[in-house]
Structure 1
């Protein structure tokens, strides 16, 4: 099968990682093309053909759409898989200039309604909640998966080592997490992995709460699995998620996770592992949950082992197989 993925590059975060891992896995048995920017090349294997493409151009410009159609004609894919609604629009409009239409699959990565996502021939949601906002001609659920890599113990200094992973954006709730950390009654080291527009604001918050020796903004790293494996607890404080890739990675590599009670976190982890943060930004409740986990840590680790026993449900191999079966329904 000849498969074309499209990715509007912003920065390397959850959606980008899902796309890259899917391309790399599918390229083992299929001919894979990716329309994106050169920034993403280091993350792709040699079997994926990257075509530098700028999705920031005007998607209503006839010349741009005609040139895009010429590129599609040259590649001649059996299927187009878009990871963003803007890409989907470009791929849809460009086909006005083609004699033969190419089926389009769109993945809805977050629970936000996008009217023009309806242009997709098949919409794929990454979680049951996201499925409610997936409005293509036909819609189905395929959960995200990760590619397992053997982790290395980073041998952090003795402490209660905690980790959070995600883009430094308001929706990830890192400001709430940092405020809650100022209220816990145990010693700890918190590492936040990721880059984003709120970096300076979070640095100022850490300074104002006198947590600069306890909370570290690590930045972007390529070995998130090592950090998860070496930490005692992962915290997901998001106010909104599709299916968090950080959560899935935590199931594969982490010792225990607590997460905000949104999306399907409660169904995946169990009631004991979630806390209410969405409506009130309740830092007190998160602080209480952190104290509870610290005081009963081995109990939480033992309970979490039952979640980890289902980790193969979230493998990249299973995810890719599900997508390939879905593609076949359109060809």
Structure 2
């Protein structure tokens, strides 16, 4: 199969990781092309054909659409898989200039309603909540990711807490920082990620006099090693459309606790979840600290299910969906 993925690069976050992992897995047995920006190249298998493409151009400009159509003719994909609304529009409108139309499948990665998803021939929701936003034919394929064997790294000699994600208000890191100020035992917390809330978080850390206990560590390409070496991962998100960071936890962390959101709400037992305010979270962290072995045992039962979230399973589900769509698009 000749597969074309399209990805409007913003930063390397959840959507980008899903797309990259799919490309790298599918290229093992198929021809895979990716329209995106050059910044994504370090994350791609060398066998994936990266074509630099500017999705910021006017998607209603006939010349741009004609040039896109010529590119599609050259690639000649069996199917186009879009990961963003603007991409769907460009890929659909460009086909005005094509004699043979190409089926489009689109993944809905967020909980924002976008009516342009009705331009796709088939939509994929990542969770049941996402599916409810889609007004057209859709299926659910839950996200997975590529497992990378971790290595123990140097870590603090105190109870080591880790948070991972984009530094965005939605991620709830401010709630976590506030809760950490209420703890009565020795710990060190590292927050990995970049984003617009970095300055606000640092000011909050300073205000609460946590500079020696809570450190903003920036982006890391080795988060699997970090999680593998920590004592506890916390997911304090206000909401998550899915929350790949929970799958990171199942793959690598010895223990995770999470707010009631995204995939965590489905896969974690109540004892590993908390109401998302500083006092409740502080109480949960303290409970974990005082009963650590018991919590490790509980989470081990969840970790035993990690193969359910493999990239192989997710890619297989997508490939089945591709083939069914192609067969219905070009009936014999």
What range describes the TM-score normalised by the shorter chain of this pair? Answer: over 0.9
Q: Deviations over 1:29-67 (max 9, x none)?
A: 000000000000011011100000011111122211111
Runs of 4+ in 1 over 4 A off after TM superposition: none
The answer for the alignment partner of 1:29 in structure 2 is: 29
1:285 matched to 2:284? The reply is: no
Query: Scaled by the length of structure 2, what TM-score is found?
Result: 0.96
1:177 matched to 2:176? The reply is: yes
The answer for the alignment partner of 2:329 in structure 1 is: none
Quote how far apart the aligned CAs of 1:267 are. 2.1
For the residues of structure 2 that align with 1:170 and 1:24, how far apart are their CA atoms? 31
Q: Deviations over 1:274-322 (max 9, x none)?
A: 1122xxxx21111111111111111111000010010000000111001
Quote how far apart the aligned CAs of 1:143 are. 1.1
1:233-272 correspondence runs (5 A): 233-272=232-271
Quote how far apart the aligned CAs of 1:23 are. 0.1
The answer for the alignment partner of 1:71 in structure 2 is: 71
The answer for the alignment partner of 1:156 in structure 2 is: 155
For the residues of structure 2 that align with 1:249 and 1:107, how far apart are their CA atoms? 21
For the residues of structure 2 that align with 1:128 and 1:256, how far apart are their CA atoms? 26
The answer for the alignment partner of 1:109 in structure 2 is: 109
- 8 Å CA contact 1:69, 1:98 repeated in 2: yes
For the residues of structure 2 that align with 1:134 and 1:221, how far apart are their CA atoms? 34
2:111 alignment partner, SS class: coil
Quote how far apart the aligned CAs of 1:263 are. 2.5
For the residues of structure 2 that align with 1:253 and 1:155, how far apart are their CA atoms? 16
1:258 alignment partner, SS class: strand
Quote how far apart the aligned CAs of 1:330 are. 1.0
What value does the CA root-mean-square deviation take over the aligned residues? Answer: 1.1
- 8 Å CA contact 1:124, 1:134 repeated in 2: no
The answer for the alignment partner of 1:190 in structure 2 is: 189
The answer for the alignment partner of 1:204 in structure 2 is: 203
For the residues of structure 1 that align with 2:74 and 2:170, how far apart are their CA atoms? 40
- 8 Å CA contact 2:243, 2:263 repeated in 1: no
Quote how far apart the aligned CAs of 1:266 are. 2.7
Gaps spanning 5+ residues in structure 2: where? 327-332
1:329 matched to 2:324? The reply is: yes
1:291-302 correspondence runs (5 A): 291-302=286-297
For the residues of structure 2 that align with 1:58 and 1:165, how far apart are their CA atoms? 35
For the residues of structure 1 that align with 2:24 and 2:82, how far apart are their CA atoms? 16
Count of residue correspondences: 326
- With 319-328 and 177-186 compared, the bigger mean Cα shift is at 177-186
1:19 matched to 2:19? The reply is: yes
Q: Deviations over 1:197-240 (max 9, x none)?
A: 11111111111111111111111111110011001111111112
Query: Scaled by the length of structure 1, what TM-score is found?
Result: 0.96
- With 57-66 and 229-238 compared, the bigger mean Cα shift is at 57-66
Q: Deviations over 1:160-198 (max 9, x none)?
A: 111111111111111111111111222111111111111
- 8 Å CA contact 1:111, 1:132 repeated in 2: no
The answer for the alignment partner of 2:57 in structure 1 is: 57
The answer for the alignment partner of 1:308 in structure 2 is: 303
The answer for the alignment partner of 1:38 in structure 2 is: 38
For the residues of structure 2 that align with 1:78 and 1:287, how far apart are their CA atoms? 52
